[in-house]
A and B are shown apart, each in its own frame.
Chain A
Amino acid sequence: MTNDDSKALVIHRRTFLTASGALLVSLAAPFEWAEAEAIGGTTRPPVGFDQLDSYITIDPDGTVVAYYGRIDGGQGLETAIAQMVAEEIDVPFERVRVVMGSSTVLDMGGASAAQGVSQSGMTLRRTAAEARRLLIDTATRTLGVPADQLTVTDGVVHAISDPTKRVSYADLIGGRYFDTKIKWNGRTGGALAVDTPAPLKRPDQFKVIGKSIPRRDIPPKVFGRMEMVSDVRVPGMLHARMIRPTVAGAVPVKVDEASVKDIPGVRVVWIKDLLAVVAEKEWNAVKAARALKVTWSESKPNFPGNEKLHEHIRQAPVVKRTIQRENGNVDEGFKQAVRIIEGEYEFPTQSHASTGPGCAVADVRADEATVWTSTQKPHGTAACVADLLGLPHDKVTAIWKFGTGSYGRNDQADAAADAAVLSKHLGRPVRVQYMRHEAIAWDPKGTASVNRSKVGLDAAGKVIAYENISKAFSRQDMNPREQAASDVLAGHLLGASAKPNLIFEIPVASYTFDHGRLGWEIIPALMDRASPLRTTHLRDPFGPPILFGSESFMDEVAAATSTDPVDFRLRYLSNPRDRDAVRIAAEHYGWQKRPSPRNDQKDSEVAVGRGIAFRRHFDTFIALIAEVRVHRKTGKLDLVRYVCSHDVGMIVNPETLKAVIDRQLVYGTSRAMFEEVRFNENMVTSVDWVTYPVLHVDDAPAQIDIVLIDRPEAAPSGAAEMCLGLVPAAIGNAVFDATGVRLRRVPFTHERVKAALDRA
């Protein structure tokens, strides 16, 4: 979802609520009565966005089932959603079962923009509240008690004054259906919203929301009982391994099947440019993939190589330039300025590099297909497979399973597409398991960029003009919602053209300057088809590269004007939630006001500094302070302490939220300190954990303090990708504070930090 969409949605939601308030006053009574009489049908209405039963049903034993049309990538959404539903429908948390993900459930957008709670959780809260209202209405007739004299305790409707007058949800509707239409905004995915007459509970009524209930998915994981997509076995299933070229763009021209004839049960599948081996036994497929002799076509990708990539980006022509936000008269502002400061920051190509390489199972029949996948977007995957196979969309079912963390649109969709193509060709179910090199060298990448900032200061040192422009590859060579053949590797190998969306984006602009301009420039992709460097969403798709630039630059300007970095930010932030995030982090850290850098460690081999970075992402407000120890001789950085203030609005589950932030800050540290996809003129050379280094246990921050700012009256926002983008700037600013040296390129490897220190 883009920022623009989200803004539109927020406005839409507000008008929607106003309209629903009015509706409640004028229409509520007759509407309720008519609908209440209808509940309890024995036939399940077809799945539809305007059908209450597509969101909530009640089992014969009274268990409430919530249909969550998204997935959980490992952050505990199943539990959070169950809490929100239990709260509104008034059953114990244990009595809510959450059905997640598969394409047979409504499309609520898969995993996207950390909206699981803020969008779909709220939708399910509203439908749960509506279900409760309808159940009470039905109970008025069963019990002969008016609705305003009834309440619900643990799934039993009873008279407030006489608890013996009672009827359970199980008795009212268990195993049957509401068969009730609800008002739907006509949009799907992340923009889906419903309007129901039932009011939501107030924070002072909460019994389940706000409690740190342990996650449901953790015990089965800890006891080795969690079936993931890689564990799916279908009778008659073949194991496949894909064969990839060692030079990007090369396609098979000759395949020597005799080279694998001694490995039992192996078949080679070669369709257009797609090449794979399959075998009855998985190990034989692995061996065959290693042994198969292939002659590849000549290909000369002429990639610039990762060391010269940013020079390439600077020189490359701009194919699209968008100024996404402008206020005042920026050119005039710069003319009036008495001092101009400019700064440039480089972010590398990064891989999703999931712990589990892509894996999927497909069973394609003559006129229908099923795929088992742990993609973020099961509905998209189903559409993509339908497009690839030429099947009607409704004949393909994507069954979502838990799997490896994906951190965006990783290689899961490519695996599902490969499995579907192979299963169709072979007439048997096929399981595709990518190898490690595929998960790093061939997954779609997060784009590299150069971020340029510029400010103009007046005579008093006030920033009057600000400009921030990213120059980068598009972040969407492939649609992050893989819904067509053009969105997956298999599609390209079978002849579909890539359909890039030329876009970068800007984060929310919180700072207020008299004249401001934020935008981006897109350069041509390095290879337009089946590229190992093709881009799509990597967790927080444009946050880390831009925030590394913009929040390092804020610090640069603060230093240039001898201003304390916290004071500098507060001077240009006016929203109270923005200001609170910065202020609370500083207070918790024990921030001593002074300009950076410190000047008292010039002669010491080890220097310590602190740095702050701030952002707003949707309605989540975060400040991160990093304390870093710099070893001048080696360039090694010790991450001594992080303090993260975090305002997500209403908090559903505080301990789970803290865990999401804590683990995410470690993940963000890996991207800031280690991660860069290496490639030469021919191919990506990052193929394993040696050539794509990531954080290990010793590299994690020694201490992370998380300060949750709870605002129960504010709508819940998201958390799952909100803070990681602050890590590079917070560390870089701390290094500057310690040493006076500015880090301008991620990742901050020892060698690169040492080189920056030596240049100073």
Chain B
Amino acid sequence: MAQQLTFQVDGHARSIEVDDPAMPLLYALRDELGLINPRFGCGLGQCGACTVHVDGRSVRSCITPVRSVEGKKITTLAGVGTPEKPHPIQKAWIEEQVNQCAYCINGWVMTAVELYDRNPRPTDEQIKAAFAPLICRCGTHSAAVRAVKRAAQSA
């Protein structure tokens, strides 16, 4: 039976009807709401490509049942900043020219944004601990660490 769910996405109230409230949030965001991020990487919570913030905390949307975000605030990569008003992490990411293909970028930037918003001057160990679960096949790991340190310097 279809069920109505309401939550906020990037500052906008969104309401969807789902047959299966256990459906992962990722499919709600992509298939129902037409977002072009986050991305499907593994469906297992092992890589981070689907990462969004729910009430400010990074979650893997590929294993988060959509019913669990009812009434909550979801922020995606497209919602943390704009070219006109970038988040300090996005600004540093561009300055550091971190990415290659960037398929994995939601995991890295959303993790970095959460870290920065709580602790703008993290240590190397704290940055690496935050990034530890993430997969990137292009090899941007160290460049991502440098971007967080760059953002920290201007914090």
Contact = CB atoms under 8 A, between A and B. Distances in A.
B47 A355 contact: yes
Interface in A216-238: 217-219, 221-228, 230-231, 233
A222 B105 contact: yes
Given A214-B97, A666-B141, A698-B132, A223 B23 contact: no
B137 A664 contact: no
Interface residues of A, number: 64
A663 B103 contact: no
Contact of A223 (B90, B138, B141): B90
B140 A663 contact: yes
A698 B124 CA distance: 10
Contact of B78 (A223, A667, A669, A689): A223
B47 A282 contact: no
- In the complex, which range does the number of interface residues on chain B fall in? 35 or more
A228 B77 CA distance: 15
A67 interface: no
Contact of B142 (A215, A357, A662): A662
B130 to A, nearest CB: 9
A433 B102 CA distance: 18
Contacts of A666: 139-142
A405 interface: yes
Interface string B10-43: 0000000001100110010011001011011111
Interface string A350-372: 00011111000000000000000
A689 B99 contact: no
Interface in B84-121: 86, 90, 93-94, 97-106, 109
Given A696-B134, A698-B128, A688 B94 contact: no
A355 B136 contact: yes
Contacts of B36: 224-228, 231
B109 to A, nearest CB: 7
A357 B128 CA distance: 26
Contacts of B142: 662, 666, 697, 700-701, 704
B135 interface: yes
A282 B105 contact: no
Contact of A264 (B19, B134, B137): B19
A230 B40 contact: yes
Given A214-B97, A355-B101, A357-B40, A224 B141 contact: no
Nearest to A227: B36
Contacts of A695: 139, 141
B137 A667 contact: yes
The binding surface of chain B is classed by DSSP as loop
B81 interface: yes
Contact of B135 (A75, A221, A660, A689): A689
Contacts of B44: 436, 688-689
B82 interface: yes
Contacts of B37: 224
A219 B143 CA distance: 16
A697 B141 contact: yes
A222 B90 contact: yes
Contacts of B93: 218, 222
Given A224-B77, A433-B40, A436-B43, A665 B101 contact: no
A73 interface: yes
A704 B141 CA distance: 12
Nearest to B144: A697
B74 to A, nearest CB: 13
Given A223-B83, A663-B143, A356 B97 contact: no
A690 interface: yes
Interface string A237-276: 0010000000000000000000000001000000000000
A705 interface: no
Contacts of A215: 97
B123 interface: no
Contacts of A659: 97, 100, 143
A255 B27 CA distance: 27
A405 B138 contact: yes
A736 to B, nearest CB: 25
Interface in A60-76: 73-75
Given A74-B99, A231-B36, A697-B144, A355 B27 contact: no
B109 A222 contact: yes
B104 A355 contact: yes
A55 to B, nearest CB: 26
Nearest to B100: A74
A407 interface: yes
A54 interface: no
Interface string B54-89: 000000000000000000000011110111001000
Given A227-B36, A688-B42, A697-B145, A665 B139 contact: yes
Interface of A: 73-75, 214-215, 217-219, 221-228, 230-231, 233, 239, 264, 281-284, 286-287, 353-357, 402-405, 407, 433, 435-436, 655-656, 659-660, 662-670, 688-690, 694-698, 700-701, 704
20 contacts: A214-B97, A215-B97, A218-B94, A218-B98, A221-B99, A223-B77, A224-B36, A224-B79, A230-B39, A281-B31, A282-B27, A283-B27, A353-B137, A354-B103, A355-B103, A403-B101, A655-B97, A664-B139, A697-B145, A700-B139
